[in-house]
Amino acid sequence: MARVFDIIEHPNVAREELSYREPQGGSGDFRIGSQLIVRENQAAVFVRDGKALDTFRAGRHTITTANIPLLVDLVGKAFSGNTPFKAEVYFINTADFPAVGWGTTQPLALETPGKGLGWLLLQGHGVMDVKIADPQRFATQYGIGKAVVRLSDIKDRLLTMVLGEVQDIIATHAPGDYMGLNRLMGEIEAAALAQLRAKFDLVGLLLKAFEIKQLTPSTTSAEDLRNMGLLDIATYQQLQAADALRDAARNEGGGAAGTGVGLGAGVGLGQMMAGMFSQQQQQPAQPAQPQQPAPSSARSNPTTPAEIRSLLDNLDMRLANGEISEKAYDRLYEKWQARLEEAGG
Nearest one of 112, 224, 131 to 171, comparing CA atoms: 112
Residue 252: predicted pLDDT: 53
Dist. CA 249–CA 40, nearest whole Å: 70
Dist. CA 201–CA 73, nearest whole Å: 28
Residue 126: predicted pLDDT: 95
Q: Which of 70-79's residues contact partners 24+ apart within 8 Å by CB, and which partners?
A: 70/46, 71/46, 74/48, 74/49, 75/48, 79/32
Nearest one of 66, 111, 79, 320 to 218, comparing CA atoms: 320
Residue 183: predicted pLDDT: 86
- Please report, for residues 56, 137, 300, 342, the alpha-carbon distance to residue 303 in angstroms, rounded to integers and kept in the order given: 74, 64, 10, 10
- Please report, for residues 307, 327, 329, the alpha-carbon distance to residue 335 in angstroms, rounded to integers and kept in the order given: 14, 13, 10
What is the residue-level pLDDT of the chain in tens, covering all 345 positions? 456 678 999 999 999 999 999 999 998 888 888 899 999 999 999 999 999 999 999 999 999 888 888 887 777 654 555 568 889 999 999 999 999 999 998 889 888 887 767 788 899 999 999 999 999 999 999 999 999 999 999 999 999 999 999 999 988 877 788 888 888 889 999 999 999 999 999 999 999 999 998 789 887 777 777 776 776 666 666 666 666 766 676 675 544 444 433 333 344 444 444 444 344 444 444 444 444 444 433 344 667 888 777 777 777 777 666 666 666 677 777 777 787 787 776
Nearest one of 46, 134, 35, 138 to 90, comparing CA atoms: 46
Q: Is 203 exposed, middle or buried (0-12, 13-18, 19+ CB in 10 A)?
A: middle
Answer for the pair 310, 292: CB distance below 8 angstroms, yes or no: no
Dist. CA 189–CA 197, nearest whole Å: 12
Q: Which helix (H) or strand (E) holds 276?
A: helix 270-282
Answer for the pair 32, 82: CB distance below 8 angstroms, yes or no: yes
- Please report, for residues 207, 292, 330, the alpha-carbon distance to residue 133 in angstroms, rounded to integers and kept in the order given: 9, 71, 44
Q: What is the pTM of this model?
A: 0.66
Residue 259: predicted pLDDT: 40
Dist. CA 46–CA 321, nearest whole Å: 56
Nearest one of 157, 98, 158 to 129, comparing CA atoms: 98
Residue 243: predicted pLDDT: 65
Q: At what angle do helices 233-250 and 270-282 cross, to 10 degrees?
A: 70
Residue 278: predicted pLDDT: 43
Residue 219: predicted pLDDT: 76
Residue 284: predicted pLDDT: 46
Residue 308: predicted pLDDT: 76
